[in-house]
Amino acid sequence: MSEEKCTPASPNIITLWLSTIAGTYSSATIKNYLYGVRAWHIIHGISWQIDEAGTDALLQAVTRLAPESSKRKKRLPYTISFITTLLEDLNPNKPLDTAVAGCLTTTFYGRARLGEFTVPRLTDFNPLDFITRSDIHIGQD
């Protein structure tokens, strides 16, 4: 397919694409793919031709076709008391245990504050409020 026919992605092309991957991936993965393509259109100033009702209908169909193997049972969340219990069983004198403790606590506290580094909606982005690539510098103290 030529590039001219790829953008903007027509509802037929998106529907065909989703129907080919439905039943292979989880509905959450396909939803992320779809919204990724939608975001690409918005970022590049290309009209997104599928309305919200159409998007919802496509995602409902994909959810029904999701394989059972892609569905996981709900799991208990990691809590500070759970992490504390795990950390008590680790030996700080063993490099592997130290690495596990560092990864566990960094990931937990990094995720707990993820909202400070992400934009709730693409239209909410303001470089004065959110981190941009130009704000990141590598240096040495």
pLDDT one-digit tens code per residue, 118-139: 667 778 888 887 767 788 778 8
Q: Domain segments of the chain: what residues?
A: 3-70, 80-135
DSSP states along 6-73: HSSPPHHHHHHHHHHHBTTB-HHHHHHHHHHHHHHHHHTT------HHHHHHHHHHHHHH--GGG---
pLDDT one-digit tens code per residue, 38-94: 999 899 898 888 888 888 888 888 888 777 776 677 778 788 899 999 999 999 999
**pTM over 0.75, yes/no:** no
Structure tokens at 7: 């953008």
